[in-house]
Structure 1
Amino acid sequence: MRQNPSFAMTDVAELRRIIAAHPWATLVGRDESGMTASHYAVLLDPDRDDLTIVAHVGRPDDLVLGLGTQELLVVFQGPHGYISPGWYGDVAAVPTWNYVAVHLSGVPELLDPEENLRVLGHLVDHFEGGLADPRGMWTPPNDEAFVRRLEAGTVGFRLTPTRVTAKRKLSQNKPDDVIENVILELTGDGVYANPALAAEMQRAHDARLAARAATAADR
Structure 2
Amino acid sequence: MHPSPLYRWDDDSALEFVAEMAFAHVFAQVPAGPRVAHVPLLAEGRKLRFHLANANALTPHLGGMTALASVAGPNAYVSPNWYVKRTRVPTWLYVAVECEGPVRALGNDELVDLLDASAATYETRAAQDWTRAKMDPAKFAAMCRAITGFELTVETIRATRKLSQDSDAADTAGVIAHVPDDVAALVRAQ
The alignment's TM-score, normalised by the length of structure 1, stands at 0.80
Instruction: Tell me, in whole angstroms, the C-alpha distance in 2 between the residues paired with 1:51 and 1:162.
Output: 8
3-state DSSP of counterpart to 1:115:
helix
- State, as a whole percentage, how many aligned pairs show the same letter: 26
Which residue of the other structure, out of 160, 169, 177, is the alignment partner of 2:170?
A: 177
Q: Which residue of 2 aligns with 1:101?
A: 96
By how many angstroms is 1:87 displaced? 1.2
Q: Is the 8 A contact 2:59 2:148 kept in 1?
A: no
Q: Is the 8 A contact 2:9 2:160 kept in 1?
A: yes
Q: Which residue of 2 aligns with 1:203?
A: 189
Q: Is the 8 A contact 1:36 1:64 kept in 2?
A: no
| 173-182 or 68-77, which deviates more | 173-182
By how many angstroms is 1:180 displaced? 2.8
Instruction: Tell me, in whole angstroms, the C-alpha distance in 2 between the residues paired with 1:64 and 1:112.
Output: 14
Q: Is the 8 A contact 1:36 1:65 kept in 2?
A: no
3-state DSSP of counterpart to 1:94:
coil
1:123 correspondence with 2:118: yes
By how many angstroms is 1:59 displaced? 0.8
- List per-residue Cα deviations over 1:156-215 (Å, max 9, x = no partner): 1112211110001111111132123312333xxxxxxx11111111112xxxxxxxxxxx
Instruction: Tell me, in whole angstroms, the C-alpha distance in 2 between the residues paired with 1:25 and 1:130.
Output: 18
Structure of greater Rg:
1
Q: Report 1:62-101 matches (<5 A).
A: 63=58, 66-101=61-96
Q: Which residue of 2 aligns with 1:138?
A: 133
Q: Is the 8 A contact 1:65 1:72 kept in 2?
A: no
By how many angstroms is 1:67 displaced? 0.8
As a proportion of its length, which structure holds more strand?
2
Q: What are structure 2's unaligned runs of at least 5 residues?
A: none
Q: Which residue of 1 aligns with 2:32?
A: 33
Q: Is the 8 A contact 2:84 2:170 kept in 1?
A: no
3-state DSSP of counterpart to 1:66:
helix
3-state DSSP of counterpart to 1:171:
coil
By how many angstroms is 1:62 displaced? 6.2
Q: What are structure 1's unaligned runs of at least 5 residues?
A: 187-193, 205-219
